[in-house]
Amino acid sequence: MRALAMLCVPVTFAAGLVSLPAVAQDPTQGNAQGDLAVTIYNGGQSLVQDIRQIAFPAGRTRQEFPDVSAQIRPQTVSFAADGTAIVEQNFDYDLLSPNALMQKAVGEMVTLLRTNVATGAETRERAKVLAVNGGVVLQIGPRIEILRDDGMPVRVIFDKIPPNLRAKPTLSITVDSRAAGTRPAMLSYLTQGLGWAADYVSLYDEKAGTIDVQGWVTLTNNTGTTFDNAKTLLVAGTPSGSGANIGVSQRYRPPQQTNIRRAGTETAPREQLGDYYLYPLAERTTIANAQTKQVSFLDVSGVPAQKIYEFTVGGFNTMTEPASAASVIKFNSSAKGGGLGDALPAGTVRFYQRDLRGDPQFIGENSIGHTPMGSELGLATGQAFDVKVQATVVKRDVISNHVTRSSMSYLLTNARPQPVTLDLVQRGLDWYWDETRIIAESQKSERLDSDGTRWRVSVPANGEVTITATFETRY
């Protein structure tokens, strides 16, 4: 016979024996929250401010606040009400469930109600719960039994709800009030489980050289609590304490250029809080638990955009076969010259393009970090089918013990029926122990930084171009 899983045991309470202390224990009561304001930061941390009307008796009493976040950080709780002083506070997060009830009943008496499947007859027995460890061990009179699934329906009837089990996450605060009366009380706290990110839908028109961009705020709530009719403010930024490395510089050589090609210097026309931008939702909203909600914050059409191809060679080696270049869409977030005209919160940009039938089709996606207004962006949407690059070491000479020369050849091919622009980048010019410079090249390059140089090459339709360069490395 199989041990009956605890969560499969029907649970009831003996009539007249259950005592529910106030709202916190009664799941049929409505939402106990008051006037809510929720500030949500990137990274999953949020500030909840809840103003409730409380009837305070005079003297010392315990006030219970159900419907707080199940991921509340109790050490961040702040409580304020006129004429009251806080004595202590407790957060009860042990929630009412069949499993929790059985765990709390160890050492207590319960009633077993068994129903005979054939006759429908019911029998009741009093039992003491001895242990709940992978199964329920009971003492019934002089005998010890294991609660089993023997084909006979069994219900466990509890005499009462343990006082420390709650139907909802509940914060209790003991206060000392100078006078009786109903007055507002402000409860505020930080919580994990609420987060937001930006999602961008971009329709690219290759012929017109433009993109239309819609920006959506995507809210997620995994706090275990619904925040009803809340005034919601989103903060774009990463406050210290969210797990980010603040102000840390790392030497990093990406395989391709970063998505922000040049950081902007324009101030966005939005409210700022310190070094963060604020994105308030226009209307109050309900953020339901286990829900994803989207709200529009950006809608811009006809933004100038250009598609180019990019390929980065990481060192001076021969490629055994051609590799695809990245297809990149470039645009800017400036308010001048027809850009997006806004600061862009971190998120994912998804690109679509219309096919010959006029239907928008997905062509790729990429992510951006927090991007100041006026920035130039270049987002790779995928690998090009028809545009390839193959690098070859033509010759490598040792000039001396400390000097070598590498002659490179880059073959760029284009199978598309129109010419393309390809940015060919050579990295590896500045390692910790050496320095490399170009002593000859077939087309003038642009030095990007100490580690890389770039050739911007026009490759004809159904054609190819070869770029050659000689590099001298000193150790």
pLDDT tens digits for range 440-474: 999 999 999 889 999 999 999 999 999 999 999 98
Q: What percent of the chain has pLDDT over 90?
A: 52
Phi and psi torsions of 141, nearest 5°: 65, -130
Domain assignment of residue 318, yes or no: yes
174 and 318 both lie in a single domain: no
Over residues 92-99, mean pLDDT = 63
- The structure tokens listed for 69 are 């976040």
Nearest to 314 by CA among 468, 427, 390, 449: 427
Burial class (CB in 10 A: 0-12, 13-18, 19+), 127: buried
The answer, yes or no, to whether residue 408 has pLDDT greater than 90, is yes
Task: Give the per-residue pLDDT at 312.
Answer: 96
Q: Do 312 and 173 share a structural domain?
A: no
Residue 402 in tokens: 């400390």
Give the per-residue pLDDT at 255. Answer: 39
Looking at the structure, tell me whether residues 180 and 43 fall in a common domain.
yes
Give 97's pLDDT tier (boundaries 50, 70, 90): low
Token pair of 44, please? 């999953």
Query: Quick one: 289 exposed, middle or buried, by C-beta within 10 A (0-12, 13-18, 19+)?
Result: middle
Q: Does residue 139 belong to any structural domain of this protein?
A: yes
Mean of all residue pLDDT scores within the chain: 84
Confidence of residue 15 (pLDDT cuts 50, 70, 90): very low
- Per-residue pLDDT tens over the stretch 244-277: 443 333 333 333 445 898 999 999 988 888 889 9
CATH code at 326?
2.60.40
Q: Is residue 4 included in any domain, yes or no?
A: yes
Q: Has residue 293 been placed in a domain?
A: no
171 φ, ψ to 5°? -105, 125
Task: List helix spans (H) across 127-263.
Answer: none
Q: Which residue has the higher pLDDT, 199 or 157?
A: 199
3-state secondary structure of 21: coil
Q: How big is the chain by its Cα radius of gyration, in Å?
A: 33
Does residue 128 form part of some domain? yes
pLDDT of residue 24: 35
Q: Is the pLDDT of residue 243 over 90?
A: no
Q: Give the Cβ contact number of residue 18 at 10 Å.
A: 13
H or E stretch including 139? strand 136-140
- CA atoms of 397 and 439, how far apart (whole Å): 14
Please indicate, yes or no, if residue 40 is contained in any of the structural domains.
Answer: yes
pLDDT at site 274: 87
Q: What is the pLDDT of residues 32-82, one digit of tens each?
A: 899 999 999 987 889 999 999 999 999 999 888 888 888 888 888 889 999
In which domain, by residue range, is 15 found?
A: 1-192
How far is residue 402's CA from residue 419's CA, in Å, rounded to a whole number? Answer: 42
3-state secondary structure of 209: coil
Task: Tell me how many domains the chain contains.
Answer: 2
Q: What pLDDT does residue 291 have?
A: 87
Considering the domain architecture, whether residues 5 and 136 belong to the same structural domain is answered as yes
Given a cut of 70, whether residue 211 has pLDDT beyond it is yes
- Please report whether residue 377 resides in a domain: yes
- Average pLDDT for 118-130: 84
In whole angstroms, give the CA distance from residue 287 to residue 232: 9
pLDDT at 420 over 90: yes
Report pLDDT digits (tens) over 142-183: 888 887 655 567 888 887 777 666 666 678 888 899 999 999
Predicted TM-score (pTM) of the model is 0.71
Domain contains 280: no
Q: Taking the alpha carbons of 393, 394, 399, 400 in that order, is the dihedral positive or negative?
A: positive
